[in-house]
Structure 1
């Protein structure tokens, strides 16, 4: 999974000092990591004069082919620089984008399987009917005809990846925090709330979608409408709490770069500032009704303390350098954020969204 790539959280790059990686680099070591196993296979191929296999990541991380190659080549470099060069020159690591909403299994899913299908299964995997797999057509020695089962082969995955990250993942972040503050449990229930659905539509069309470059054979408005339908699926049982999870890692990937692009272009950021203010308000640790929000982030203690300081000093929130970076130093964004947060504290999420949708925020 995305947690198994030995990425240094500070630099965002492969960490060659991790004990498991260091162990795999020792002569004669039995591999402990997937990178050790992959490299052992490639070493055998090289020694036997056989064409190396393609290493294809299917994990849901941006630039997954590049991330995988960094891991394999990084480990190879610890063993032998010549081996690292050979891998770099001879092994294909295609980038791919996968997309299918697949929530965690709960008693709800077990109950549906039993009542609707008469099946008893402790760990069914539920998912939506939609699926998309976009794959870079870059292989070492040919490939299966995966296009026959719906895989999209492209020269460059990046445009599709950026579209998904900004419109879908950014859309999840958009609905998560207002719904959380309104005590809404499921994503499809949030989409039934006109204020949340309206906030999503306005923010996407006004500020998010305009930052997405053209994507081959794709109409961005059609893609957005597809996202709306997917979020509205009542059978999936995706939860708002899942969407709110780990904002300290998700916001810098899914929201902050969009803000940065808007600011660079001299465009308005009122809706994105409101999204950030909603996240801040959520991290205060209570909903608008006063219900306690249980810790929902690896950095929850820090976020909660900062959100409480930001109630009277909004700049404290934007001063989290590792999250906001240059965006946090933008006077235009700071002003919009402070205003949105003030309105949220004075009026609550419902009234704030009402004002935003009326163009009065």
Structure 2
């Protein structure tokens, strides 16, 4: 079988092997600019949009993918060489791989190379929506002060050099200024990140930045820009070398960066689009008036569950999430955490079978074909903890609920932050606060609650006696007896 490089020229020949876009990509107009063209976007929003574009009457919703950071050079170059095409590999629970080429990304820009080109594209009259996957930390939010972090060196740079920005806020501000100056209609900015109230967060952080960068723009934004909240879900692990090799071996397709994901997908969106929107509901998305119940459930159960599995599994020495959840002790611990500490905080979820949802999570986590890397799940825990775990703790404390399991996970994170697992092997810690976490973890060896002093992560949690006592007990227990012994001990109490 002849190997075929993935590009427009070879698409017809590739169509004889796997599914490819049926639409003429050259006739598609760019209606969406998406910032952050990593794996999740390509498995989620771009997938939904690709499905929509299969309708030959829909021509206005192509995606221009923007690589925002210097770090994104590789994905930009890959998409450029492959004409924006990539293969989506869905790893089914039975081990089968469902493959298709996605063509929704019809343009691609590298922001560090040409900032003005990105600003102009965002300000283009045909663009109706700007979507974001910039990770939880990209919103520049301080958990302790609940405010925008103006001390971030990149923000300081953008305020001094508005025409050569480095952050999403710098780009959005300049683009919206152009739209205002040119008398253009409004636009929607939609977050696709795992943050509760992600639309509100985007609006609040952008307006905070604009208050200093371009105060005269504030009223125009309030009148002409909408910020819908959304809940997104699809487990999308980092593409492995083996995935690239397997695609080439089985299908003869040379794709430098395919995307792998699970079969499950979910997108719940607040119907608040000021300039029109794609009919994503026709391909499986759900538009609602209030996203809050759905996103709270997902962040507190799926995303927090991932972090629980990652931190506990990392200390034992596991490398993938399926290894961790298929350890019966960790699996039982996670189930107890979801049932005893998270569920009481969720309230009434009309139309949701919560027990079935939690069971589905355990099955999804345990998909042995996904091989989601634990170091990916544990990356940027300092940005994830305040969003996924801390709200559960705060709610439980306010209602005299149990926080023992969450305190245990927090203690495990403190020990994890020392940088080695219980076998003495180094952990690959990726976190913007890596140095600060490591320093506090070292101090915690003498005074366990020192780790809780990072207010940007924990807020005032250190001041709560009930939580501190549970945390100290867990910390000392793990240090003295090892993580798995302690997990078994805790499970025996339920």
Q: Partner of 1:7 in structure 2?
A: 140
CA contact (8 A) 2:386 2:457 kept: yes
Contact in 1 for aligned 2:196/2:387 (Cα 8 Å): no
Give CA deviations for 1:8-42 in whole Å, capped at 9, x if unaligned.
Answer: 54755456764335544xxxx69885414641463
The question of 1:128 aligning with 2:265 is answered no
Pairing 1:341–2:479 present: no
Partner of 2:157: 19
For this pair of structures, how many residues does the alignment match?
353
**Which of 154, 164, 183 in structure 1 is aligned with 2:288?**
154
Correspondence 1:293 to 2:413: no
TM-score of the two chains, using structure 2 as the length reference: 0.65
CA contact (8 A) 1:311 1:341 kept: no
5+ residue gaps, structure 1, are none
Q: Give a deviation string over 1:290-345, Cα, whole Å, max 9, x none.
A: 22224432222332232233233222222333322222111111111111111111
Unaligned runs of 5+ in 2: 1-132
Of 320, 345, 350, 1:211 maps to 345
1:245 aligns with 2:379: yes
Is 1:261 aligned to residue 395 of structure 2?
yes
- The verdict on how the C-alpha distance between 1:44 and 1:175 changes in structure 2, with shifts beyond 3 A counting, is same
Q: Are the aligned partners of 1:5 and 1:14 in contact in 2 as well (CA < 8 Å)? A: no
Structure 1 residue 175 and structure 2 residue 313: aligned? no
Deviation at 1:78, TM superposition (A): 5.7
Query: What displacement does 1:124 show?
Result: 0.9
* Residue correspondence of structure 1 range 27-176 to structure 2 within 5 A: 33-36=170-173, 38-40=175-177, 42-43=179-180, 47=183, 51-70=185-204, 73=207, 83-176=217-310
Which of the two has greater helix per residue? 1
Matched, 1:234 2:368: yes
Q: Could you say if the C-alpha distance between residues 347 and 115 of structure 1 is closer, same or farther in structure 2, counting changes exceeding 3 Å?
A: farther
Is this contact kept in 2: 1:5–1:67, CA < 8 A?
A: no
Go from structure 1 to structure 2 and tell me whether the alpha carbon gap of 1:139 and 1:188 turns closer, same or farther (over 3 Å shift): same
Structure (1/2) with the larger strand percentage? 2
Range that drifts further, 253-262 or 309-318? 309-318
Instruction: Give how far 1:88 is off.
Output: 0.8
Structure 1 residues 52-61 or 195-204, which shifts more? 52-61
1:356 matched to which residue of 2?
A: 490
Residues 77-124 of structure 1: CA deviation (Å, up to 9, x unaligned): 567756432331243222222211112222122133234433222211
1:58-79 Cα distance to aligned partner (Å, 9 max, x none):
3444433234434655566567
Q: What is aligned with 1:330? A: 464
Verify the 8 A CA contact 1:136 1:154 in the aligned structure 2. Answer: yes
Q: Which has the higher contact order (CA 8 A, sep 6+)?
A: 2
Q: CA deviation at 1:354?
A: 0.8
Per-residue deviation at 1:163?
A: 1.1
Contact persistence 2:313–2:324 (CA under 8 A): yes
What residue number does 1:277 align with?
Answer: 411
Instruction: Give the CA deviation at 1:355.
Output: 0.4
The alpha carbon displacement at 1:133 in A equals: 0.9
Distance 1:255 1:67, change over 3 A: closer
RMSD: 2.7
Q: For 2:139 and 2:337, how far apart are their aligned partners in 1?
A: 35
Does the 8 A contact of 1:127 with 1:236 survive in 2? yes
SS in structure 1 at match of 2:226: coil
Q: Name the stretch that deviates more: 325-334 or 139-148.
A: 139-148
Instruction: Tell me, in whole angstroms, the C-alpha distance in 2 between the residues paired with 1:174 and 1:8.
Output: 23
User: Partner of 2:267: helix, strand, or coil?
Assistant: strand
Does the 8 Å contact 1:6/1:15 carry over to 2? no
Deviation of 1:353 after TM superposition, in Å, equals 0.7
| Structure 1 residue 265, shift from structure 2 partner | 0.8
* Contact 1:103–1:126 under 8 Å retained in 2: yes
